[in-house]
Amino acid sequence: MKTQFLIQTKNLTKQYGKIRCVNSIDLQVPQGSIYGFLGPNGAGKSTTLKMILGLAKPTAGSITLFGTPVNAQNRIRLLAETGSLIESPSYYGHLTGEENLHILQTLKGCPEKDIDQVLQIVRLDTARKKKVNHYSLGMKQRLGLASALLGFPRLLILDEPTNGLDPSGISEMRELICTLPSRYGITVVVSSHLLSEIDQMADHVGIIRKGALVFQDTLKSLHTHAKQQIALRTDRPQETLSLLHRGGLEAAPQEDGYVMLPVIEDDRIADLCRQICEQGIALYRIEKREKSLEDIFLSLTGKETSL
């Protein structure tokens, strides 16, 4: 069966002056997924999401939402089926949480009972009569999520929703986001600069670096990139390397004195150890190493970039 994408962009580009913030991005968000949009700060995540929401005008490229190409005429109609929380929550500080939601409920044209429901979901029902100016940052963030959830849209776009939250708030937000597809059938796009966050929430991942999409697939597929290797440490790495090459193994030296070789069977490892010892080489260590998700992320996004 063909995968249905709720968001599809083609060559989506945004240029400010001579700076190209987003460069020909082809985003594909499958229906029912939690799509983690990952990238270092300043990589172009927010700009991309803003273009999808029509808050920034693309320099080039096209956006398709729910299978319909977005244009000036249908933008609002298509966005009626989305909820969003971009960068920081939007609110009227002089109004109560409930009044804030009433404004959005009226604009969205959804039933009034949705206000009670979303307030319960984000656990703000006891603070509904409190002015938002008196809310903590975490409460404001939860109100932002409640606003986005009003009307239970088909698509939720959350840009760094855990920004400014304390660890328990982060975990609470994460748990809530994870339940959205199964409980309400909402497809979620969540951006973050934290790999661990996306790793715990998403099932699909897009990694953006300097405006370009460098990876897009399932999280499972990203995990398969995590390569296993065997690391050997001896007193004579060069001789060890020659010995391994003679045995037909693709070994490579490392700066820290280790010799890396691909994962091989246990019998072969035992044989290798025997050969090394017979050559009078002192074998200090044999380690099994795995390239972590973080290593993959760093190699994709560039180590020089701040995370």
Partner 1 sequence: MKTLGLEFYKIKRRKVGLTMAAFLAAQFLWGLWALRSPTAGEQAQGFLSLLYALPVLDAVMVPPVMAILASRLSDIEHKGCTFKQLETLRSPGSLYHSKAVCGLIITAVMFALQFALFILLGYALGYQGHPDPAHYLLSYVLKLASNSSLFLMQLALSMFFANQMIPLVAGLCGSLIGLLLMFVKFYSFLPWGGNLNSTLVMMDWDSTTRISTYYYREYSPVELAAVAMIFVWIVIFYTAGRILFSRKEN
Binding interface with partner 1 (CB under 8 A): 50, 53-57, 75-76, 79-80, 82, 84, 86-95, 99, 102-104, 106-108, 132, 147
Q: Which of 284, 307, 287 shows the shortest CA–CA distance to 297?
A: 307
Strands (E), the chain: 5-16, 19-25, 28-30, 34-38, 60-65, 68-69, 82-85, 155-159, 187-192, 204-209, 212-218, 228-234, 252-253, 258-262, 283-290
Neighbours of 22 (CB within 10 A): 29
Instruction: Give me the least distance between CB of 100 and partner 1, in Å please.
Output: 9
Q: Is the Cβ of residue 94 or residue 268 nearer to partner 1 in the bound state?
A: 94
Instruction: Give me the least distance between CB of 80 and partner 1, in Å please.
Output: 7
Neighbours of 16 (CB within 10 A): 11
The vertex-123 CA angle with 119 and 127, nearest 5°, equals: 75
- Residues sharing a CB contact under 8 Å with residue 239, sequence separation 6 or more, in sequence order: 279, 281
Instruction: Give me the least distance between CB of 12 and partner 1, in Å please.
Output: 15
Instruction: Give me the least distance between CB of 157 and partner 1, in Å please.
Output: 9
Q: Are 118 and 101 in contact (CB under 8 A)?
A: yes
Instruction: Give me the least distance between CB of 48 and partner 1, in Å please.
Output: 13
Q: Is the Cβ of residue 103 or residue 273 nearer to partner 1 in the bound state?
A: 103
Q: Is the Cβ of residue 79 or residue 208 nearer to partner 1 in the bound state?
A: 79
Instruction: Give me the least distance between CB of 148 and partner 1, in Å please.
Output: 8
Q: Is the Cβ of residue 147 or residue 301 nearer to partner 1 in the bound state?
A: 147
| Token pair recorded at residue 298 | 């760093």
Q: Is the Cβ of residue 108 or residue 233 nearer to partner 1 in the bound state?
A: 108
Q: Is the Cβ of residue 82 or residue 234 nearer to partner 1 in the bound state?
A: 82
Q: Which of 16, 93, 14 shows the shortest CA–CA distance to 61?
A: 14
Q: Is the Cβ of residue 5 or residue 91 nearer to partner 1 in the bound state?
A: 91
Instruction: Give me the least distance between CB of 230 and partner 1, in Å please.
Output: 51
How far apart are the C-alpha atoms of 262 and 255, rounded to whole Å?
17
Residues for the chain: how many in total?
307
